[in-house]
A and B are shown apart, each in its own frame.
Chain A
Amino acid sequence: MDALKRVPVREQDPKVRATNFEEVCLGYNLEEAMEEAGRCLNCKNAQCVKGCPVSIDIPGFIQQVKVGNIEEAARIIAKSSALPAVCGRVCPQESQCEGKCIRGIKGEPVSIGKLERFVADWSREHGFVPEKPETTNGKKVAVIGAGPAGLTCAGDLAKMGYEVTIFEALHEPGGVLVYGIPEFRLPKEKVVHAEIENVKKLGVKIETNVIIGKSVTIDQLFEEEGYEAIFIGSGAGLPKFMGIPGELANGVFSANEYLTRSNLMKAYKEDYDTPIIAGKIVAVVGGGNVAMDAARTAKRLGAEVHIVYRRSEKELPARAEEVHHAKEEGIILDILTNPKEILSNENGWVSGLRCVKMELGEADASGRRKPIEIKDSEFILEVDTVIMALGTSPNPLISSTTKGLDLNKRKCIIANEYGETTKKAVFAGGDAVSGAATVILAMEAGKKGAKGIHEYLSNK
């Protein structure tokens, strides 16, 4: 065995998986996990932990995997994370834990994400259940949004003894984990539902179909329902469009709509009512994880798919693994390309995307080289469907009906390091505060919010 190389992880064949919604990565088995764990140097001053937003004791759990004590490994992870099977699948490990791994200096870093996933899957399959707190302190906290931030915050507060209720606007808890991330990357029933059940087992109540700000206001939660503190983890759900001509044409979707139809509403399944328009040739505009998810979904629905991105492949914000998987599945990358107009036919349906070629100039404020239009390079990409995956901004439903909750210029809720907002007893975190980011950063914000709420209620 070459200690510089990872134990390879089994995956579905690209040709086969491009036609189904089954999970792409099959994960490690016990032998493979133990072997990969053996590559961990168990550093005293572990850099990987510093790279983890929720500070999981990574060497600690890996040492347990190495000797086959998976239950203990699960217990170590559970101290820091409520959603390990999710994080093991969707965290950007290459820029976090694995990016800091000492093994990575000479060879390949330890597959921390795949090991976390293995431990979480093993725990679920073997019925390992997180310990429920023995007593409650009788204090009621409301959490708004059952996504990664809200679930983490609620889980942590429950462990501290609070009576926590999560209010969710959609009909399923999970937030972006259920409406945004596709089944082939994050199985809903097996993984997401199971981890949400674990949060419930800590004593957390989840009420779906309640829109805070509409069904009930923040002030009513305090005054009429007796909550002593509130955490807002409502996410960034408002889709952005480019503002180019033709965006009202039939066959133009936000990635949110396309993915919600497919993931949450299961439009790809025969026996579900929600329709989806697959398209024959699809352009996905954008280069993040959401763009990759939309592209790979369209591919599975039978389309030829182009990713249209205005910088070069190196600058793609998506996880390296997602880009790699997308390319393997036959997604065409049209890089250094920027859309100018969506063309439509006489019935109002998309008939093409007028684009211009780009080149990279000087570095801009983001540190990335700025894309500049190449003169006279316009061309028409012949597509019948356009999916806009340009990011999202926070939804104004709560802020518009809550006095005293201040927003910044980008419509994000203003909150300090502990999640404290400008309104008394109201904390916030995740995409609602930061703007669209990752699952793990939302979880970090949820943890900090729980800590902030605990300190606030303890000193009250």
Chain B
Amino acid sequence: MFKIKKAKQLSDIIFQMEVEAPHIAKSCNPGQFLVAKIDEKGERIPLTICDYNREEGTVTIVFQIIGASTERMSKLQTGDYFRDFVGPLGVPSEFISEDIEELKNKKVLFVAGGVGTAPVYPQVKWFHEKGMKADVIVGAKSKDILILEDEMKAVAGNLYITTDDGSYGRKGLVTKVIEDLVNEGNHYDVVVAIGPMIMMKFVCMTTKKLGIKTIVSMNPIMVDGTGMCGACRLQIGDEIKFACVDGPEFDGHLVDFDAAMKRQSMYRTQEGRALLKEREGATHHHGGCGCGGDE
């Protein structure tokens, strides 16, 4: 059992929890993820690691309500437990193993979208701890789903916030901010973009045009997270890779986002049904028509 030391609601559908998990806290690095399972009947949910405290043996997760299990997870309070919590999984971010002196000469721009701000945070924090300042763009649909602003401000170089509806910060998409920054004369060697697949796709289109190497963190459907099920397979260039053991971070210019987005929608009908059952106790069946009609 894994105890929740602190549970906090960040928006109406986004939640943050600090969980006692000494094995993971001891060995995890930015870029890696874990799998959480609320109880016997819960789904295995892959979540990127948002923060960690090696001394206290805790890790922080941030998640959004998507299906029945995350809906139930959102109701957990400080002092409650997860039945299962396993990790760290996946390969740490590339820069962790780079030469620090060489890295100091590079200018990195982080682009975070929505709940993707959570996995960007430990990476920016890592740069901060090594004495480097990375610029960060955070994009959200509107002000009320903007998360981790103060935390990010404390570790980022320049922080640019943009909302789709203009309710806070700049107005518009993150791609517009990237273009503006470059047009204003800023130079970036690497862009790290994490957020919804559609956002990562458009960031990659923009950075390809601008000729900037781009790393993305993929979040496809996953079951075990250890390479066993193969559900998370992605087309990367001319190769098929498993996000759980080969990723989750990849060269964004090689990712086939359209295929990835189609695969990600595979259980949408089913997840929706499970959620409905959870909320209303309706007698919805597993085993949808499989036509994917409500995509």
Contact = CB atoms under 8 A, between A and B. Distances in A.
Interface of A: 169-171, 179, 208-211, 214-216, 237-239, 241, 247-248, 250-251, 253-254, 256-257, 260-261, 265-268, 270-280, 301-302, 347-349, 384-385, 395-397
B75 interface: no
B170 interface: no
A250 B289 CA distance: 13
Contacts of A268: 286
B69 A215 contact: no
A256 B86 CA distance: 19
B245 A254 contact: no
Contacts of B259: 248, 348
A214 B89 contact: yes
B290 A210 contact: no
Interface in B223-246: 223-224, 226-231, 233, 235, 240, 245
Contacts of B285: 270
A211 B23 CA distance: 9
Contacts of A274: 43-44, 223
B228 A239 contact: yes
A455 to B, nearest CB: 32
B262 A250 contact: yes
Given A257-B223, A260-B223, A275 B23 contact: no
Given A209-B84, A347-B262, A384-B290, 4 more contacts: A248-B235, A254-B230, A256-B228, A265-B44
B231 A253 contact: yes
Contacts of A215: 23-24, 27, 86-88
A251 B290 contact: yes
A250 B263 contact: yes
Nearest to A397: B226
A346 B108 CA distance: 38
30 contacts: A169-B224, A171-B83, A209-B84, A214-B89, A216-B27, A239-B228, A241-B233, A247-B233, A248-B263, A250-B265, A251-B290, A270-B285, A270-B286, A273-B68, A273-B69, A273-B274, A274-B43, A275-B271, A275-B273, A275-B286, A276-B287, A277-B266, A277-B287, A277-B290, A348-B292, A349-B290, A385-B290, A395-B245, A396-B227, A397-B245
Contacts of A208: 84
User: Could you say which of A171, A301, A347 has the most chain B C-beta atoms within 10 Å of its C-beta?
Assistant: A171
B163 interface: no
Contact of B227 (A237, A276, A278): A237
B295 interface: yes
Contacts of B69: 273
Which one of B37, B42, B87, B229 has the greatest number of beta carbons of chain A within 10 Å?
A: B229
B93 interface: no
A278 B89 CA distance: 29
